[in-house]
Amino acid sequence: NSEMNQDILKVLVTEEELQARVQAMGDELYEKFAGKNPLFLSVLKGSFIFMADLVRACQVKSDVEFIAVSSYENATSSSGRVKITRDLQEDITGRHIIVVEDILDSGNTLAFLVNYLKARGAESVTIVTLLDKPARREKAVHADLAGFTIPDEFVVGYGLDFAQRYRNVPYIGVLRPEAYA
Ligand code: PRP
Ligand code: MN
Ligand code: MG
């Protein structure tokens, strides 16, 4: 049962496709980071579900950290102003950071974060995003690893919200226009 299925116009990525791709991404990160003690950094809130699945798909010795940033302010396009709403709680000096994002859209969030993490002393910053929407890019940000390239449609589910809702939808879907109203 789901109260939200009726608000979804179409499914873009199914649960099965998500599971298979996240495991493949975990395998790829294992090859790259085994022995390097990376820090998985989840960009909240959107990446919380992807983060939980990705860290279990990549059995390297590592730790997890969280930072919360927000720029969408209940709209469907980025305001361009990125606010840190929960800062890092750990020293990241000299660390190999794997930034875990749910979506790379305008690039404002990741452009800001990469600068911020380097300023805080990160040794390396690797960008991992589940979804990449190149059509709307405003900043020259490139993902080191992306799960799926998607068209220019507003998507929800698997952590992604519209106005804080739909994060618990278990697949990636496109919202019906009526649901924005
Ligand atoms: C969304 C999404 C990414 C960012 C991507 O976060 O989770 O973090 O926007 O968009 P961009 O490339 O245009 O910056 P949002 O600001 O909605 O906060 P949330 O993660 O709490 O939903
Ligand atoms: Mn986000
Ligand atoms: Mg959001």
DSSP letter for each residue of 69-101: EE--TTSSS--S--EEEE---S--TT-EEEEEE
The rounded percent of the chain whose pLDDT value lies above 90 is 92
The confidence score (pLDDT) of residue 79 equals 75
**102 Cβ closer than 6 Å to some ligand 1 atom:** yes
Residues noted as catalytic: 105
Query: For ligand 1, atom 7, which residue shows the shortest CA distance?
Result: 46
Q: 16: helix, coil or strand?
A: helix
pLDDT tens profile 47-63: 999 999 999 999 999 99
Predicted model pTM: 0.96
What pLDDT score was predicted for residue 72?
72
Pocket lining: 53 vs ligand 1, CB cutoff 6 Å: no
Task: State how far the Cα of 17 lies from the Cα of 34, in Å rounded to an integer.
Answer: 25
**Arithmetic mean of pLDDT, 70-83:** 78
Q: Is 45 in the pocket of ligand 1 (CB under 6 A)?
A: yes
Task: Give the CATH number of domain 15-152.
Answer: 3.40.50.2020
Asked whether the beta carbons of 173 and 155 are under 8 A apart, the reply is yes
**pLDDT at residue 140, as a whole number:** 96
**Span 88-95, average pLDDT:** 97
| Average pLDDT of the segment spanning 128-144 | 97
ipTM greater than 0.90: yes
Question: Which residue has the least CA distance to atom 20 on ligand 1?
Answer: 46
Q: Work out which ligand 1 atom sits closest to the CA atom of 43.
A: 8
Lowest mean pLDDT among 40-54, 59-73, 90-104, 111-125: 59-73
Residue 98 has pLDDT above 90, yes or no: yes
Residue 74 predicted with pLDDT over 70? no
Looking at residue 103, its pLDDT comes to 98
Q: Give 76's pLDDT tier (boundaries 50, 70, 90).
A: confident
User: What number does the ligand 1 atom closest to the CA of 104 have?
Assistant: 12
Q: Is the pLDDT of residue 29 over 80?
A: yes
Closest ligand (CA of 45)? 1
What element of type H or E holds 118? helix 108-119
Nearest in space to 54 (alpha carbons), one of 113, 1, 101: 101
Of 79 and 135, more confident: 135
Query: What's residue 11's pLDDT?
Result: 98
Q: Which residue has the tokens 């690893």?
A: 145
Residues of the chain above pLDDT 70, percent: 98
